[in-house]
Chains A and B, each alone.
Chain A
């Protein structure tokens, strides 16, 4: 019952996938290498930078801190999936509008983390937004424009729903 490889079946961005994986392969190497989903980025590979963030069964997690073999039976969403579903279209527009990215390496992780905050649909101060995004590094923008984009999206969504 202990294996070096195993065939796993999981749902990625709404599609069922069955693949043989090595026990040692982490989830993002699997997504990038086996499925060609290169939106999830690998920065530090030890849980500090947040560029690898993906959704596991609805919650944002570090994709480099989980093995692919553990995702057997799970539902995974990547930035490609969130883009295709239009869930974060407004957030992405505001990122462009506010120049909330320069090199773009951190952006997928920022979007997925911000999507979790936006899902709560509750008013947040800039300080609270900063705290929520504190696990995602950006080395270009100085964060100000990212916080702007998230704040604007949240305000727009709250206005729309009221």
Chain B
């Protein structure tokens, strides 16, 4: 199908984009990479009066290290994140997730901030930044504010960002010595939407996971932090028994939704399998470190 009739404005400055958002709010859509918005326009699932194209806002693109955190501008393309030596060095979890984020032609155009602002429950990057404790900066004509990632994802495609706010940047703490990461995803075809997936950032002491963030995606209406699975293994020497304990405890953390990719029971089974595998890999990496 074809996109509906609409008007288009190209923002040449952040101030201009914010003024348009203040005026039009919910009636406008911000067009960044467009890799999720354009399909919904072509299928007429969304019909904004106005598209605000922010692709010329070069100030919003770029990756740098500031105060033990990596700053990723909202308009940074996935391909740039995937190629970034800064991300490879300081955010290995995200580096490992990037090849799973769609396909090369989509990564050349899609943006990091777009993926966070959209909050697709099957997306990799919201889960990764939740595991890493990121901070999200948004701005409107009313001013700028920082939102902790734990408060950002509210539900299915719903976030704490208000209709007049523009996502500016994401700041993600650099991986510290003593922590390990692991990322796993199951999909029909490399780069397709996930059937199940987990992002893991763990603190370890030898063979023991002392603390961890296990975040599951492609299950609930938003990325889900699993506290019970972590509690089942925290402080215990890694063993077949603790692996089983984590896998069993996951049903207290996760209540997957049925969708076209599979039933709730199927998804919970796959997430359990991934839990065992991802923790195995985390421990292997801790041993090797």
Question: Which A residues are within 8 Å of any B CB, using their own CB?
Answer: 1-4, 6, 22-26, 29, 45-47, 50, 53, 56, 59-62, 64-67, 69-70, 72, 113, 116, 130-132, 134-136
Q: Does B108 belong to the interface (CB within 8 Å)?
A: yes
| With A46-B42, A62-B35 as contacts: A116 and B104 at CB distance below 8 Å | yes
User: Are B7 and A59 closer than 8 Å at their CB atoms?
Assistant: no
- For B190, list chain A residues within 8 Å (CB): 130-131, 134
Q: Which residues of B contact A50 (CB under 8 A)?
A: 103, 105
Pick from B50, B108, B191: contact of A60, CB below 8 A. B108
- Tell me which residues across on chain B come within 8 A of A45, comparing CB atoms: 1-2, 39, 42
The answer, yes or no, to whether B43 is at the interface (CB within 8 Å) is yes
Say yes or no: B42 contacts A26, CB within 8 Å. Answer: yes
Taking a contact as CB atoms under 8 Å apart, the answer to whether A135 and B103 are in contact is yes
Query: 17 new A-B pairs (CB below 8 Å) besides A50-B105, A132-B104?
Result: A4-B6, A23-B7, A24-B2, A24-B5, A26-B2, A26-B38, A47-B35, A56-B109, A61-B108, A65-B39, A66-B109, A67-B3, A67-B31, A67-B34, A70-B55, A130-B190, A131-B191
Instruction: Let me know if B79 is at the binding interface, CB within 8 A.
Output: yes
Q: How far is the CA of A62 from the CA of B6 in the complex (A)?
A: 21
Describe A's contact surface by its main secondary structure.
mixed
Asked if A61 meets B42 with Cβ closer than 8 Å, knowing A4-B5, A23-B7, A29-B2, the reply is no
CB distance from B48 to the nearest CB of A (A): 11
Q: List 25 A-B contacts (CB under 8 A).
A: A1-B9, A1-B10, A2-B50, A3-B9, A4-B5, A23-B5, A24-B2, A24-B3, A26-B2, A46-B42, A50-B105, A59-B79, A60-B104, A61-B109, A62-B105, A64-B38, A64-B42, A66-B34, A66-B109, A67-B38, A69-B8, A70-B34, A70-B53, A131-B191, A134-B190
Cα-based distance from A26 to B41 in the complex (angstroms)? 10
**Interface residue ranges of B1-20 to A (CB < 8 Å):** 1-10, 20
B residues touching A (Cβ–Cβ < 8 Å)?
1-10, 20, 31, 34-35, 38-39, 41-43, 50-51, 53, 55, 79, 99, 102-106, 108-109, 189-191
Residue in B1, B3, B51, B105 whose beta carbon sits within 8 Å of that of A61 in the complex:
B105
Using Cβ atoms and an 8 Å threshold, which residues of chain A touch B105? 50, 53, 60-62, 113, 135
Bound CA–CA A23/B51 (angstroms): 9
Docked-complex contact A4 and B104, CB < 8 angstroms: no
> Which residue in A3, A69, A134 is a CB contact (below 8 Å) of B189?
A134
CB distance from A73 to the nearest CB of B (A): 9
With contacts A46-B43, A113-B105 taken as known, whether A134 is within 8 angstroms of B7 at the C-beta atoms is no
In the assembled complex, how far is the CB of residue B269 from the closest CB belonging to chain A, in whole angstroms?
Answer: 25
B38→A59 contact, CB < 8 A:
no
For B35, the chain A residues whose CB sits under 8 A away are: 47, 62, 65
CB-CB < 8 A to A66: which residues of B? 34, 38, 109
- Residue among B38, B53, B106, B109 facing the most chain A CB atoms (10 A cut-off): B38
| A60: nearest chain-B partner, CB-CB | B105
Q: Which residue of A lies closest to B40 (CB)?
A: A46
Least CB distance, A35 to chain B, in whole angstroms: 18
Give the docked Cα–Cα distance between A34 and B109 (Å): 24
